[in-house]
Structure 1
Amino acid sequence: MRLLASEKAESSKANVSALAKSFDPFAPGFLRDPYPSLAKMREKEPVFYSPEIDSWVVTRYQTVRAVLRDTARFSPRIVSDPLTPLSPRARDMIANSEFDVPGLLVNNDTPSHPHCRKFFGEPLKPNRLKSLQPFVEATVSAQIDKMVEQGPPADLATGLTWEVPALVLFRLLGIPDEDVPQVKEYADSRVVLLWGRPTEEDQIRLTKGALEFFRYTKRLVNSRIDNPADDYPSAVLAQRDGDDSVATIRDIIAVTFNLLFAGHETTSSASANILSNILADQELWKGIVNGSVEIAKVVEEGLRFDPPVQAWRRLAKEDVELDGVAIPKGGHVLLHFGAANRDPERFDQPEIFDPGRTNAGQHTSFGIGAHFCLGATLARIEIETMIRQLARRLPDLRLVPDQVPDYLPNTSFRGLRNLQVHW
């Protein structure tokens, strides 16, 4: 979280069409179902300037991919900047604290990014993440036990899809069991603070939580210097081997902070979205239960169809042109993964949830290129495990009818906050 937004282009000179003026990513209707509006934008005006968020929105699959790969002209350093500039009081709270989180991974550029990704990604390699499978299985089983014991109806979002990714991540990062409730409370605040429209009062409250969270992370990492454990902070400290030229303690605190703060949100959202879509189609659910539909393919199609990360940000390093639209140096670009994943030029009949789709894995949901998500392997393991265990233990699972979907108002993350089910 940086104190100030990055340098801005002269957006007042941007052409704003009537269609672009209608784009409001915080509108209740858009939050419930953004895809019809995105389809219209992609067809009529695939790149447009939105005064609502002071950004150029990009919706075509090929263009989104091209920008993600073009690190020479587009920088990720604004990814974690607050979309709504921090109020003076919130900025003062950060400036007068020990908060110190440099950009190292998602919001870092070359030349330092490749080294940081290699160093901090080493303990997150697929084999290491796959070793968490027994803990994932046990955690999913325990959460389903609680649901069954309490009896239907149950909320899959609060009882399973939010809990499991958080608990798995906390195990990976070495959070003691007694600290889990407090850390979960800290981590829940980031989406609105950075990608939403918080009021000044909300900013102050959320900033206070972020600062407490940073202090917690600092204590955690420092405790591992003399008392290493089988967890991520200990692994990167061992790799560092006391060499500040490889990574500093400050760097390790910063990366651990960001992982704790955001490392489970996308998996929580993805699993809730996927379960909502497959339970809405009871024939599909029956296929999963009887084994005729492959769960891995369901997960991949689910990630394409309703991605947990709807959009991600880039900063234009120079004057550029995308799909015939001029974007000035300093322009903020919002790459809309939700729109790209339903581009009919890439995906046939994209509005249909089709687990048999052969190119579903070409989705943009985990990013592409230099900043591809380091946790993609673990996310797939967790989501597949949740679906498999639910299908085995609760084969008659179904949605409670007439639910009103509830999504957190923000530009980037889409995940159901409640998902009522019966069996």
Structure 2
Amino acid sequence: MRLLASEQVGSPPPEVTEAGRRFDPFHPDFVVDPYPTLAEFQRSEPIFYSPVLDSWIVTRYATVRAVLRDTDRFSPRIVSDPLTPLCPHARDIIVNSEFDVPGLLVNNDSPSHPHCRKFFGEPLKPQRLASLRPFIEKTVSAQIDRMIETGSPADLAMGLTWDVPALVLFRLLGIPDEDVPQVKEYADSRVVLLWGRPTEEEQIRLTSGALAFFRYTTKLVHSRLENPGDDYPSDVIRQRAGDDSQATIRDIIAVTFNLLFAGHETTSSASANILSAVLSRPEIWAGVVDGSINISKLVEEGLRFDPPVQAWRRLVKEDAVLDGVEIPAGSRLLLHFAAANRDPERFEEPELFNPERGNAGQHTSFGIGAHFCLGATLARIEIETMIRQLAERLPGIKLVPGQQPDYLPNTSFRGLRRLQVSW
């Protein structure tokens, strides 16, 4: 098992400033609404060291963008390392097993990353993903049918945004629909294990779950070796043509394992967040229903306004200066997309949800540069389809008043787990 960033010995901790003392991404108030605090820090200390995370928090749009583009000095290889170091028992579960997920895409550096991205991204080209449109339309329609049949009020997250991205991903990966709950449970667990503050008991349980899911993925890929189908693992296997220099079976298992999480969790969160923002503004929803508001532009503004990926990590490979602050080699960065997306130097009146915003598409929510999200096209298709069909079939839908938002406490992912609506 490769060395984790949490086990590396870096420089002595830097001086902790006022922002660093106050920043607590796990505080309930911050989890519910991080934006006022992030805006304050962006004005007073746009970059600061957080002892809670042993990371430098980066909030300005221009700086986040520059770091993402500079893969020579800032490495992504710590992205999927647990924020909280694994306890000995949890680590032993992994070390003494066949679990093996090397860095290939999101947490990989050059020189291997460009090849891996090209090879594994080939079956995910926009035209291939667009071919899923009929299935997406049918799936969204079926989920809305179930909601209508069950009756008002309903949970829009559980009834629509929770399942649709998973069902589409499962179609892409060739997995039976009945496995949706299992994959979703694992996705929530992985958020807590890698980007949260789990107890040792929770780490042991979650690590055991990760191992079980790795075995599930291994079985899936080997079944496609024997019986190829019309799905992503089969496409990659055919493209490999038995050539380990292109990709090994181990590599294919690792990428499929990560896709089972990244391919749906963020889209589920994005769609719930956007629908919450739109339905809480009846005048905007009315514009969606009557067609005066462009849904594609609305989605871009939603991704900017309340992104499903709030923050992402980088490792500083050599001494650097960011926003006038010296950052030593070996330091960890937490690039706050949520803050960058509301930087007033880039977005005018950033706290306003404006579906007509001309530069909303400049958000950082899918990343920037060499590690831009391969599934961005599919996510946009799914979110737009859900919003359009809801507007057509349930134009009178509205939020149930008085509900309390529910999010998993973690540093990086934000998505409503419940969204009560009536019609």
TM-score bracket, normalised by the shorter chain, equals over 0.9
Partner of 1:250: 250
Partner of 1:71: 71
SS in structure 2 of the partner of residue 364 of structure 1 = coil
Partner of 2:367: 367
Q: Which amino acid aligns with 1:112?
A: S
Partner of 2:316: 316
Distance of 1:19 and 1:180 partners within structure 2: 41
C-alpha contact 2:163 2:180 (8 A) present in aligned 1: no
Structural mapping, 1:148-227, within 5 Å: 148-227=148-227
Identity of counterpart residues, as a percentage? Answer: 77
1:61: Cα distance to partner?
A: 0.2
C-alpha contact 1:16 1:49 (8 A) present in aligned 2: yes
Partner of 1:10: 11
Unaligned runs of 5+ in 2: none
Q: 1:355 to 1:213 in 2, by over 3 A?
A: same
Structural mapping, 1:251-270, within 5 Å: 251-270=251-270
Matched, 1:135 2:135: yes
Taking structure 1 as the reference length, what is the TM-score of the superposition? Answer: 0.98
C-alpha contact 2:104 2:251 (8 A) present in aligned 1: yes
Unaligned runs of 5+ in 1: none
Distance of 1:180 and 1:284 partners within structure 2: 32
1:20: Cα distance to partner?
A: 1.7
1:159: Cα distance to partner?
A: 1.1
Q: Which amino acid aligns with 1:326?
A: E
Distance of 2:220 and 2:187 partners within structure 1: 15
Structural mapping, 1:224-373, within 5 Å: 224-373=224-373
Matched, 1:94 2:94: yes
Q: Which amino acid aligns with 2:204?
A: I
> For residues 23-79 of structure 1, what are the alpha-carbon distances to aligned partners after superposition, in whole Å with 9 as ceiling and x for unaligned?
000111001110000001101000000011110000000000000000010000000
> For residues 102-137 of structure 1, what are the alpha-carbon distances to aligned partners after superposition, in whole Å with 9 as ceiling and x for unaligned?
000000000000000000000000000000001111
> For residues 186-225 of structure 1, what are the alpha-carbon distances to aligned partners after superposition, in whole Å with 9 as ceiling and x for unaligned?
3331100000000111111111110000001001101111
SS in structure 2 of the partner of residue 188 of structure 1 = helix
1:2: Cα distance to partner?
A: 5.7
Distance of 2:177 and 2:274 partners within structure 1: 28
Distance of 1:11 and 1:28 partners within structure 2: 30
Q: Which amino acid aligns with 2:140?
A: V
RMSD across aligned C-alpha pairs, in angstroms?
1.1
C-alpha contact 1:8 1:331 (8 A) present in aligned 2: no
C-alpha contact 2:341 2:363 (8 A) present in aligned 1: yes
Q: Which amino acid aligns with 1:10?
A: S
Partner of 1:43: 43
> For residues 312-345 of structure 1, what are the alpha-carbon distances to aligned partners after superposition, in whole Å with 9 as ceiling and x for unaligned?
0000001111001111111000000000000000
SS in structure 1 of the partner of residue 210 of structure 2 = helix
Taking structure 2 as the reference length, what is the TM-score of the superposition? Answer: 0.98
1:160: Cα distance to partner?
A: 0.7
Matched, 1:21 2:21: yes
C-alpha contact 2:167 2:177 (8 A) present in aligned 1: no
Distance of 2:268 and 2:178 partners within structure 1: 21
Distance of 2:177 and 2:276 partners within structure 1: 30
When the two structures are aligned, how many residues end up with a matched partner?
422
Q: Which amino acid aligns with 1:247?
A: A
Q: Higher mean Cα deviation, 25-34 or 175-184?
A: 175-184
Q: 1:236 to 1:359 in 2, by over 3 A?
A: same
Distance of 1:263 and 1:54 partners within structure 2: 29
1:158: Cα distance to partner?
A: 1.1
Q: Which amino acid aligns with 1:357?
A: R
